[in-house]
Structure 1
Amino acid sequence: MAEDMIARADEPDGAPRIAVLDILRGLAILGILFMNINDMGASFRAGSDIRHFGWTLIDQQVWWVREVFANGTARCLLEMLFGAGMVILTERAAQTAGKWTVMRRYYVRNLVLFAFGMAHMFLLLWGGDILHTYAIAALLVFFARNLRPRWLIAMGLVMGLLQLGGGGYMLYADGQKRVQVAAVEAKVAAHQPLTKEEQALLTKKAENQAKRAKGKAEHEAELAKEDADRSTTTERWVAEQTRMSAERFFSFGEIFAIWESASVMLIGAALFKLGILQGRRSWFFYLGLSVIAYAIGGTARFVGANEMMRFDDLPKTIWATQEVARIAMTLGHVALVNLLVKSAAGAWLLRPFVAAGRTALTLYVLQTLICLWVLYPPFALGLYGESGWAAMMATAVGINVALLVLANWWINRFSIAPVEWAWRSIVEWRPLPWRAKAATAIS
Structure 2
Amino acid sequence: MTAEQAPPAAEPDGAPRIATLDILRGVAILGILFMNINDMGASFSDPDLRHMGWTIYDQVAWWAREILANGTARTMLQFLFGAGMVILTDRIATAAGRRIAFRRYYWRNIVLWLFGLAHIFIFLWPGDILHTYGIAALVAFWFRRLPPRWLITLGLIMATMQLFGASYFGIYRPYERRMEVAALTAKRDAGQKLTKAETETVGKYAKAKAEEARDEKKHDARVAAEDKARSSTSVNWVREQWRKAVQRLGVGELFSIWDSASMMLIGAALFKMGILQGLRSRAFYLKMMLAYYAVGLSLRAFGAWEQTRFLNANEYNWAFESYARIAATLGHIGLIHLLLGTAIGAKLFRPFIAAGRTALTLYVLQTIICLWILYPPFGFGLYGQTGWMTMMLISATIDLALLWAANAYLRHYRIAPVEWAWRSIVERRRLPFRKAG
Which category of TM-score, normalised to the shorter sequence, fits these structures?
over 0.9
By how many angstroms is 1:6 displaced? 2.2
Q: Which moved more, 1:312-321 or 1:385-394?
A: 312-321
Residues 106 and 200 of structure 1, relative CA distance in 2, 3 Å threshold: same
Asked if 2 retains the 8 angstrom alpha-carbon contact of 1:163 and 1:321, the reply is: no
Asked if 2 retains the 8 angstrom alpha-carbon contact of 1:84 and 1:269, the reply is: yes
Distance, in Å, in 2 between the alignment partners of 1:199 and 1:437 is 81
Asked if 2 retains the 8 angstrom alpha-carbon contact of 1:11 and 1:416, the reply is: yes
The equivalent residue for 1:193 is 191
By how many angstroms is 1:240 displaced? 1.0
Alignment of 1:125-274 (within 5 A): 125-169=124-168, 171-182=171-182, 192-196=190-194, 202-249=202-249, 251-274=250-273
Q: Deviations over 1:233-292 (max 9, x none)?
A: 11111111111122222x000111111111100000010000011111111111111112
Per the alignment, in what secondary structure is the counterpart of residue 339 of structure 1?
helix
Asked if 1 retains the 8 angstrom alpha-carbon contact of 2:3 and 2:19, the reply is: no
- State the AA in 2 paired with 1:149: P
Asked if 2 retains the 8 angstrom alpha-carbon contact of 1:303 and 1:317, the reply is: no
By how many angstroms is 1:164 displaced? 4.1
By how many angstroms is 1:116 displaced? 0.8
Alignment of 1:105-120 (within 5 A): 105-120=104-119
CA RMSD of superposed structures (Å)? 2.1
Distance, in Å, in 1 between the alignment partners of 2:113 and 2:213 is 39
TM-score calculated relative to the size of structure 1: 0.93
1:13 maps to 2:23: no
Alignment of 1:363-382 (within 5 A): 363-382=362-381
Residues 216 and 168 of structure 1, relative CA distance in 2, 3 Å threshold: closer
Q: Deviations over 1:327-362 (max 9, x none)?
A: 111111111111111111111111111110000000
Residues 409 and 221 of structure 1, relative CA distance in 2, 3 Å threshold: same
By how many angstroms is 1:115 displaced? 1.3
Distance, in Å, in 1 between the alignment partners of 2:174 and 2:16 is 52
The equivalent residue for 2:89 is 90
Asked if 2 retains the 8 angstrom alpha-carbon contact of 1:9 and 1:437, the reply is: no
The equivalent residue for 2:319 is 320
Q: Deviations over 1:59-89 (max 9, x none)?
A: 1221121111111111111010000000011
The equivalent residue for 1:298 is 297
TM-score calculated relative to the size of structure 2: 0.94
Asked if 1 retains the 8 angstrom alpha-carbon contact of 2:2 and 2:278, the reply is: no
Q: Deviations over 1:301-327 (max 9, x none)?
A: 111111111111344221111111111
Per the alignment, in what secondary structure is the counterpart of residue 381 of structure 1?
coil
The equivalent residue for 1:68 is 67
Per the alignment, in what secondary structure is the counterpart of residue 376 of structure 2?
coil
By how many angstroms is 1:159 displaced? 2.8
Q: Deviations over 1:373-403 (max 9, x none)?
A: 0001111111111111111111111100100
Residues 387 and 150 of structure 1, relative CA distance in 2, 3 Å threshold: same
Distance, in Å, in 2 between the alignment partners of 1:176 and 1:257 is 28
Q: Give unpaired runs (5+ residues) of structure 1.
A: 439-443
Q: Give unpaired runs (5+ residues) of structure 2.
A: none
Residues 313 and 101 of structure 1, relative CA distance in 2, 3 Å threshold: same
- State the AA in 1 paired with 2:215: G
1:43 maps to 2:29: no
Distance, in Å, in 1 between the alignment partners of 2:15 and 2:320 is 37
Distance, in Å, in 1 between the alignment partners of 2:193 and 2:65 is 48
Per the alignment, in what secondary structure is the counterpart of residue 157 of structure 1?
helix
By how many angstroms is 1:426 displaced? 1.3
May I ask how many residue pairs the two structures share in their alignment?
434
The equivalent residue for 2:280 is 281
- State the AA in 1 paired with 2:362: L
Distance, in Å, in 1 between the alignment partners of 2:138 and 2:166 is 29
- State the AA in 2 paired with 1:276: I
Residues 264 and 8 of structure 1, relative CA distance in 2, 3 Å threshold: same
Distance, in Å, in 2 between the alignment partners of 1:54 and 1:330 is 27
1:53 maps to 2:55: no
1:354 maps to 2:337: no
Distance, in Å, in 2 between the alignment partners of 1:66 and 1:109 is 33
1:337 maps to 2:333: no
Distance, in Å, in 2 between the alignment partners of 1:150 and 1:402 is 40
Residues 232 and 294 of structure 1, relative CA distance in 2, 3 Å threshold: same
- State the AA in 2 paired with 1:244: K
By how many angstroms is 1:220 displaced? 0.7
Q: Deviations over 1:145-198 (max 9, x none)?
A: 11111111111112321244445545455445544555566667xx62144166
Asked if 1 retains the 8 angstrom alpha-carbon contact of 2:414 and 2:434, the reply is: yes
- State the AA in 2 paired with 1:38: N
**Identical aligned residues as a percent:** 56
Distance, in Å, in 1 between the alignment partners of 2:160 and 2:331 is 19
Residues 233 and 182 of structure 1, relative CA distance in 2, 3 Å threshold: same
- State the AA in 1 paired with 2:412: R
Distance, in Å, in 2 between the alignment partners of 1:350 and 1:194 is 71
- State the AA in 2 paired with 1:127: P
By how many angstroms is 1:411 displaced? 1.4
Asked if 2 retains the 8 angstrom alpha-carbon contact of 1:163 and 1:320, the reply is: no
The equivalent residue for 1:441 is none
The equivalent residue for 2:79 is 80
Asked if 1 retains the 8 angstrom alpha-carbon contact of 2:2 and 2:20, the reply is: no
Distance, in Å, in 2 between the alignment partners of 1:284 and 1:338 is 11
Residues 111 and 209 of structure 1, relative CA distance in 2, 3 Å threshold: same
- State the AA in 2 paired with 1:26: G
Q: Which moved more, 1:273-282 or 1:176-185?
A: 176-185
Distance, in Å, in 2 between the alignment partners of 1:4 and 1:154 is 31
- State the AA in 1 paired with 2:241: Q
Asked if 2 retains the 8 angstrom alpha-carbon contact of 1:41 and 1:387, the reply is: yes
- State the AA in 1 paired with 2:209: Q
- State the AA in 1 paired with 2:55: T
Q: Deviations over 1:113-166 (max 9, x none)?
A: 111111111111111111111011111111111111111111111232124444
